[in-house]
Structure 1
Amino acid sequence: MWKDSGMAAQHPRPPARVGRPRALGPSESELSPRDEVLAAAAELFTENGYAATTTRAVAEKAGLRQASMYHYFARKEDILATLLESTVEPSLRLATALLARPGADPAARLWALAAADAALLHRGLYNLGALYQLPEVRGERFAGFRGARAELRAAYGELLELIAPGEPGRELRCDLLLGLVEGGVAVVRDRGRGGGEDGYGTAEVGAAVADAVLRLAGCDRAAREAAARAGRELP
């Protein structure tokens, strides 16, 4: 059943692991040292810029020695790649599950995917989606992220085709659809820092974006309302 249940936080919280000592002693947060690095990098990359942020700054923000940080991430690129992949992989897993249910209404499946995808991007404290357009992301290290994002786009396209088979301009509409999800959340986040600080609940944002996606797919009001009801029960 779809709901705003933290489908996957942008900074996952696995159990703490044995690793290098901290520079500043035990952390007051519940994050493992690895996730402290990710959280620190997310803040610095989005607020100061990726190119302007050094690994030393990330380590200091995370409360680690720089050498200790390398126990978890060998390069700054590895940190960015992990952050970017965390914004796509949960939605891709959901898309795979939804596509494996051919008996379900495709409009409901599209609603569920768009709602969860938008919620994932909105939920995080920092706007990691803004990092998608960094020139560095075109590099080989980010092939995994680009591949996962392409697979997610293809999943949106499959659902779109099921709703409107043979409709001309499918590739363009698919690009617009993905842009609507990512760009729609970015516009909302401009009101604040996300995670509810923009004045909107994450579930509210997810549902609104999903409704807009169905409009783009050509669904009328009755079809959108039915899809939303059914989509909340998926996958």
Structure 2
Amino acid sequence: MVKGSGVGRPRASGAAANRPDARQAVLDAAGELFTGAGYAATTTRAIAERAGLRQASLYYHFPAKEDILAALLAETVRPSLALAARLVAESAPVAVRLWALAYADIGLLGGARHNLGALYLLPEVGSPNLARFRTERAELKESYGRLVAAAGVAPSAVGIRTDLVFGLVESIAVVRRDDPGLDVEAHVREGADGVVRLVGLPQPSDELRAEARALLATLTD
């Protein structure tokens, strides 16, 4: 699921910097450097060089390094947030919907080109400029909470169970950091199973997993 990264692109400036892939080149380069060398140690000059752009061209797309971080973090939450809204509104059994959301969400974090979930631990995530990311992440967690409550968890325990579920989902970033050779697909499947069990529902069957995957296919086409 994890793709190799390409480096060494020719430098670009002017009109070339406006190409649709120039912005993505910056994000790819920054993702690699932020998760490798570290956010604080990475300069915009280093990002531009890795992306094959002049530094001024990088600023055309991102005025500041923090803007790049914000864009990378958005990639880790917005697809799952959109999916969660649709799953919450679906009428399928809650176990199916919860498994589907966890499977897709863990897969997004685990299968991305770079381990962007590890960036959640950066102190810079508390910056006022990253308030939108924090809000969207909180909204995603709230969607999990709605499914947890729908699973019949006692109201007094919904918050705790949601914390546990959300922690399990995001833990793939730490596991992936510690085990670069991680079998992502196996972890995603087991993680989704674990989320369902955490809320007190039965161990997912092959039939439930198949139903959840079919539901995901209809919602992500």
Q: TM-score range with shorter-chain normalisation? A: 0.7 to 0.9
Mapped to 1, the partners of 2:32 and 2:173 lie a distance apart of 18
Contact (CA 8 Å) 1:118, 1:185: kept in 2 or not? no
Paired residues, number: 208
Query: What is aligned with 2:214?
Result: 233
Shift of 1:80: 0.2
The alpha carbon displacement at 1:224 in A equals 4.8
Tell me the equivalent position of 1:37: 26
In structure 1, what is the Cα distance between the partners aligned to 2:142 and 2:182?
A: 32
TM-score normalized by the length of structure 1: 0.81
The alpha carbon displacement at 1:184 in A equals 3.4
C-alpha deviations, 1:50-89, integer Å up to 9, x for none?
A: 1111111110111111001111111101000000010000
Flag the structure with higher helix content.
2
Q: What is the TM-score normalised by the length of structure 2?
A: 0.86
Corresponding residue for residue 209 of structure 1: 191
Counterparts of 1:101-180 in structure 2, within 5 Å, are: 101=90, 103-180=91-168
Question: In structure 2, do the counterparts of structure 1 residues 150 and 111 end up closer, same or farther at CA, with 3 Å as the change threshold?
Answer: same
Equivalent position to 1:79, from 65, 68, 77? 68
- Partner Cα distance (1:199, 1:157) in 2: 28
The answer to which structure, 1 or 2, has the higher relative contact order (CA under 8 A, 6+ apart) is: 1
The structure 2 residue matched to 1:57, chosen from 15, 39, 46, is 46
Deviation at 1:190, TM superposition (A): 2.2
Opposite residue 65 of structure 1, the aligned amino acid is R
1:100 CA displacement: 1.6
Quote the Cα distance in structure 2 between the aligned partners of 1:205 and 1:87.
17
Contact 2:110-2:172 within 8 A present in 1 as well: no
Q: CA RMSD in A?
A: 2.5
- Give the Cα–Cα distance (whole angstroms) in 2 for the partners of residues 110 and 224 of structure 1: 14
SS at match of 2:139: helix
| Counterpart pick for 2:37 among 48, 51, 63 | 48
Q: Which runs of 4+ in 1 moved over 4 A?
A: 223-226
Unpaired stretches in structure 2, ≥5 consecutive residues: 4-12
Distance 1:166 1:209 in 2: 23
Cα distance change of structure 1 residues 188 and 80 upon mapping to structure 2, 3 Å threshold: closer
Report the equivalent of 1:96: 85
Distance change >3 Å, CA 136–CA 199, structure 1 → 2: closer
Question: Are the equivalent residues in 2 in contact too, given 1:122–1:189 (CA < 8 A)?
Answer: no
Q: Deviations over 1:93-124 (max 9, x none)?
A: 100111121x2101100000000000001112
Tell me the residue number matched to 1:15.
none
> Which runs of 5 or more residues in structure 1 are unaligned?
10-18, 193-197
| Distance (Å, rounded) in 1 between the aligned partners of 2:176 and 2:69 | 23
